[in-house]
Amino acid sequence: MSLGITLSQLVQESSEPLATGIPMLDEAICGGLQPRSIYEIFGPPGVGKTHLGLQIIRNNSDKRTLLIDTHKLTPLYLLDSLSTLHTVRIRKFTQLVYFFQVLSQPYDLIIIEGLSQLLIDYLHASMKYKSRNVDASLHAFKNRSLILLMSQLTKYANQHNSCIVMLNDSMNTAYQDYSDVPLISFDGSENSSFLLKSEPKQNVQKLKSALVANASVGGKDSRWEVFIRLRIGLFWDWERDLSTKGSSLKVPRKTRIAIFIPLSTNSSSSGSVQVPEVVRLPNEPNEWVNTAINNMRRKSATEEESYIRDGIKDLEERQSEHVKKFPLSDYDIDQQQTKRPRLSAYSETNLDGEVLVVYDSEG
């Protein structure tokens, strides 16, 4: 697929990386978030993914920024009014795909809050309505959907010299059913049809990105992960040094760590396996999660309620402007005459009597 950009444009439009505001993070990612790149930040609830996104927005207030909300609203009232910040709310995975297909406004920074939840809902809806695209392997269906989305994100990022950051949840690998793990012969040969065994389940459970560890878990996620420059995992940890004299702490203090997992870098040429880098983040709240909060004027309860109410109205208007004006049935993801999946929409009534628009893709 053509990314629509020439080598001369890459040289002329090269720009400085976007700083996160956390020196340790910036140093680990070569000075900040690089343009024309896609990053994924994932972690368990409450670890500070949303606040990190707000801090990135605040630290690059002079950049044109687009914030895409999904199921929950980002607390933008923690930020001062930014004229360069635009918001839109998208609740369907296929809406997000088509949104980037038609998006023409240039943005330096795009933050997608909760893409993993959109994907999980899309997969569950596909299973529920027995879409004819969902074959025996849900993992293959997920890979095709994410490849389609990542292709659109990559094309936009290269055309507009922008950086895209995805904020996703994490999920325990205990959810895996290992349905995609093939049987292996005892003698190790690939042609043997006898004495087959299956790989045993691992006793050690891992917290992985919800884009990977969900109902469609499998071993071919690298097909869409190549579009992501770097995956950053935020997790809780405990301080290891308890040798401080006179300390009354019997339980180690909690601290945050960031694990950097390179995905798109080519390490095959050297033949070595890249080990993820672990960076321990500072414990002081003013230097980490609450930096974006403590340095801003606190609004009263009345101001916050008014801001939230106005924000919901603004998001609905932007959703109407960016999403609802698009045709809802039988439109092509790729307008070129290629064998790309098509999107279609049909209405469905839930238990509350609400008419919902359910999206599906046709192969």
Q: Are 39 and 154 in contact (CB under 8 A)?
A: no
pTM (2 decimals)? 0.68
pLDDT in tens, 258-315: 999 877 544 444 445 566 788 887 765 444 445 444 554 444 556 555 655 665 565 5
> What pLDDT, on a 0 to 100 scale, did the predictor assign at position 306?
63
Name, in order, each residue with C-beta under 8 angstroms of 327's C-beta and a sequence gap of 6 or more. none
| CB proximity list for 195: less than 8 A, separation 6 or greater | 185, 186, 187
| Contact (CB, 8 A) for 345 and 328 | yes
Contact between 35 and 106 under an 8 Å Cβ cutoff? The reply is no
**Tokens in use for 280?**
């321990």
User: Which helix (H) or strand (E) is 85 found in, with range?
Assistant: strand 85-89
Question: What backbone phi and psi angles, to 5 degrees, belong to 35?
Answer: -70, 160
- The C-alpha angle 53, 58, 64, rounded to 5 degrees, equals 90
Which helix (H) or strand (E) is 347 found in, with range? strand 342-349
Q: What is the pLDDT of residue 303?
A: 54
Closest of 22, 95, 110, 104 to residue 64, by C-alpha: 110
Quote the pLDDT of residue 242: 56
Cβ atoms of 123 and 138 within 8 Å: the answer is yes
Per-residue pLDDT of the chain (363 residues; tens, 9 = 90+): 445 555 555 444 557 899 988 888 888 888 899 999 999 999 998 888 988 898 899 889 889 999 999 888 888 777 776 778 898 989 899 999 999 999 999 999 999 999 999 999 998 888 777 655 555 578 888 999 999 999 999 999 999 999 999 999 988 765 454 444 454 444 545 455 555 555 555 555 678 888 888 777 777 888 899 999 999 999 988 876 655 555 566 677 788 889 998 775 444 444 455 667 888 877 654 444 454 445 544 445 565 556 556 655 655 555 455 444 444 333 333 333 333 334 444 444 444 454 444 444 443
CATH architecture of 7-330: 3-Layer(aba) Sandwich (3.40)
Q: Is the dihedral of CA 324, 333, 5, 59 positive or negative?
A: positive
Could you tell me which residues come within 8 angstroms of residue 240 by beta carbon, excluding any fewer than 6 positions away? 252
Per-domain residue ranges of the chain: 7-330
What's the half-sphere exposure (Cβ side, CA atoms, 13 Å) at 168? 26
